[in-house]
Amino acid sequence: MQYSEIQATKKAVLYARVSTEEQAKRGYSLAQQLEALRGYAVREGYEVIGEVRDEAQSGASLDRPGLDSVRDLVAGGGVSVVLAQDRDRFAREPAYHYLLRREFEEHGCKLKALNDHGNDSPEGELTDGILDQLAKYERAKTAERTRRGRLRKAREGKVPGNGVPDYGFNFKEARDGYRVNPETMPLVERVIRMVGEEGTPIRGVAGALNRDGVPAPNGERWNSTFVRNVIRDDVYRSLSYAELSALVTPEVAASLDPKGRYGVYWYNKV
């Protein structure tokens, strides 16, 4: 009698993550990541038992809804591997990547990215660890260059034209400054008036706007966080010439009216 060898099918969970900043970058969309992972799973003979997405979630922390779901699946047993397009999809911090890998190994599961350079040998782990540290260094250098560039623009009296403008404003055509949005700025003024002049609690402001059916910036309901940000953000604060001239270059200060009042992009953002 002949017996055929029976092999258990390897089961995989696909994980895709994109941060807010990466959403517009080519090659980082959730759909593109999952498409690449599905193709790899087919080629390697994995049975995909789950696809998990983390949208607008930073890789600087392990506190993510999607990643929590992945960890629960792995802890339940039966998962052979968790796949991601790049190693930094799991975590940007090498130490967090190591912790995840060890956690998954306790349940017989591997952590694998399509851009892994090593293998499961000690040498392979060392190679990937070194590359993770180099990637961390490059991210830090890029962040510092970006910060310096944004600070330089701010001192020149310009607004860094990346992302979306603060609520109540639109970008100018050159995206280096703000102009007031006549539709949304009255809502900002109402929030400031209710808190500053009428003494309405922050939660009460959010509740009043929701009761009045005022559209919230994100299309959902007004909340205390947004109201608090409006109150604290320097972009809505009127500054005197003396206050502003201490923040900008002498050339910009010389072009201002000493009797005027000016808004300023919040320097803590850069």
pLDDT of residue 83: 98
- Say if residue 24's pLDDT is above 70: no
Average pLDDT over residues 241-253: 78
Average pLDDT over residues 47-74: 93
Say which CATH class 157-269 falls into: alpha beta
Specify the domain boundaries for CATH 3.40.50.1390 within the chain. 10-116
Name the band, by pLDDT with cuts 50, 70 and 90, for residue 68: very high
Report pTM.
0.52
Please state, for a pLDDT cut of 90, what percent of the chain lies above it. Answer: 33
Q: What average pLDDT does the structure give for the chain? A: 81
Name the CATH superfamily for 10-116.
Resolvase, N-terminal catalytic domain (3.40.50.1390)
Kindly report, residue by residue over 206-226, the tens digit of the pLDDT.
Answer: 999 999 988 887 777 888 888
For residue 150, give every residue at least 6 positions away whose Cβ sits within 8 Å of its Cβ, in sequence order, or none. Answer: 160, 269, 270
- Say if residue 25's pLDDT is above 60: no
Catalytic positions: 19
- Say if residue 268's pLDDT is above 50: no
For residue 210, give every residue at least 6 positions away whose Cβ sits within 8 Å of its Cβ, in sequence order, or none. Answer: 216, 221, 222
Name the band, by pLDDT with cuts 50, 70 and 90, for residue 259: confident
Please state, for a pLDDT cut of 70, what percent of the chain lies above it. Answer: 76
Kindly report, residue by residue over 109-156, the tens digit of the pLDDT.
Answer: 999 999 887 566 566 566 666 666 666 657 666 666 766 766 676 666
Specify the domain boundaries for CATH 3.90.1750 within the chain. 157-269
For residues 27, 28, 29, 31, the Cα torsion angle rounded to the nearest 10 degrees is 70
